[in-house]
Amino acid sequence: MTRWLIVTQDFPPAFSGGIASWAADLAGALAQTGAPVTVLARRTGDTREADARWPFRVARMWGRSWNRWQGWWALGAAWPRLGPDTRVICATWPLATQLAPRLRGARLAVAFHGSDLSRLHAAPPALTALVPRVRAFLPVSRFLSGRLTDLCPHAPPAAIHILPMPMAMPPPPTAPRRRSLVVLSRLTALKGVERAIRIAHGLGRPLEIIGDGPARAALEHAALGDVSFRGRLERDDALAALEGAAGLLLLPHPDADGTGAEGFGLCLLEAAARGVPGIGCRTGGVPEALGPGLLLGDPDIPDLGAIEAFLSDPAQGAAARAWACASHGPAAAVAAIEAAMR
């Protein structure tokens, strides 16, 4: 029987961002097939109670100086579990650097989510060395697939598989529609939250900002109109806060040197699955996460009339949910991974 091993630094409860959510969703999707699934996650205090609630096994990796030594910590934790029937999926490529040449017959896949590729001007030797040893590369967007091809032109095209998001689809929405808009994001300079604040103010709509980060103080100081900062919420609470919102905004931009573009934009998909239409811009993988949402040509000079018309159209929520359910979900992700790892 195939055994699945997912290796990740980020995992709940200490982490609630895109990689942590992806790893938990993917492990749950694979566990639904009846296969044994183990998540190797970075130790972050006493997580025994939280780990015991998952429908798969969570084993914690101990180590220090993770930015420098994470490949070795991953190898040490994975080594006793490797064998010809094991399929290993590393959430980011640095975790695979020491595993790749020591697989003991296991097959290895490496996922890519965003800054692990979008921050690079050139491929580090450690990434280039992975290319002949990896069974499948799993970027979560066409944008990241293109970045991988640019950085590693010798990566076989047949080994690159764009991975649908494995998140479980919630039941159809029942919450009454609100006027408020939502931002669900880590608050950094690249996330474009100030753009969302200006748009909400221009529309005269309330804005709820869910998340925390180094830009929060500056955003609070410059906020216009009816803006509430709710801080970091646990994932279930954050998703519950989306219910009934008029729309979700994700309007990021790359850094001044052109790096750091958004890899996908999971929050847009999470909102769409709940019947909340998205508003995005042409940065990185955002258009791919937006589906049938509203793509702004210039989020700094937006057409407020077009935005209001979009938000006022009751059909947009249903279109967003239909697209999310048809394009993503546990079954789509499992099928893609099983095909990639054959």
Domain ranges of the chain: 3-163, 181-326
Checking if the pLDDT of 126 tops 90, the result is: yes
Rounded to whole angstroms, the Cα distance separating 103 from 22 reads: 23
Question: What CATH code would you report for 181-326?
Answer: 3.40.50.2000
Which two tokens mark 246?
């008029």
Residue 20's SS3 state is helix
AA identity, residue 102: R
User: Tokens 């998140």 label which residue?
Assistant: 167
Q: 175 pLDDT band (50/70/90 cuts)?
A: confident
Q: Average pLDDT of the chain?
A: 96
Closest by CA to 89, choosing from 6, 153, 11, is 6
Q: What are phi and psi of 76, to 5 degrees?
A: -60, -40
**Beta bridge mates, 136:** 109
Q: Are 11 and 58 in contact (CB under 8 A)?
A: yes
Residue 138 host element (H or E): strand 136-139
DSSP character string of 205-262: --EEEE---TTHHHHHHH--SSEEEEE---HHHHHHHHTT-SEEE------TTS----
Rounded to whole angstroms, the Cα distance separating 306 from 325 reads: 26
pLDDT single digits (tens) 236-245 = 999 999 999 9
Q: Are 123 and 157 in contact (CB under 8 A)?
A: no
Q: Are 203 and 307 in contact (CB under 8 A)?
A: yes
Checking if the pLDDT of 156 tops 90, the result is: yes
Q: What is the pLDDT of residue 218?
A: 96
DSSP character string of 152-209: -TTS-GGGB-PPPP-PPPPPPP-SPP-S-EEEES---GGG-HHHHHHHHHHHT--EEE
Closest by CA to 107, choosing from 137, 84, 130, is 84
Q: What is the pLDDT of residue 123?
A: 97
Q: What is the pLDDT of residue 203?
A: 98
Q: 19 pLDDT band (50/70/90 cuts)?
A: very high
Checking if the pLDDT of 16 tops 90, the result is: no
Q: What is the pLDDT of residue 111?
A: 98
Q: Are 19 and 116 in contact (CB under 8 A)?
A: no
pLDDT single digits (tens) 160-173 = 999 999 999 999 99
The reply to whether domains 3-163 and 181-326 share a CATH topology is: yes
pLDDT single digits (tens) 205-261 = 999 999 999 999 999 998 989 999 999 999 999 999 999 999 999 999 999 999 999
Q: What is the pLDDT of residue 166?
A: 98
266-273 and 18-31 helices cross at what angle (nearest 10)? 50
Q: Give mean pLDDT, residues 299-327.
A: 97
pTM of structure: 0.95
CATH class assigned to 3-163:
alpha beta
Which two tokens mark 64?
């220090």
User: Tokens 């999310």 label which residue?
Assistant: 324
Q: Give mean pLDDT, residues 281-295.
A: 97
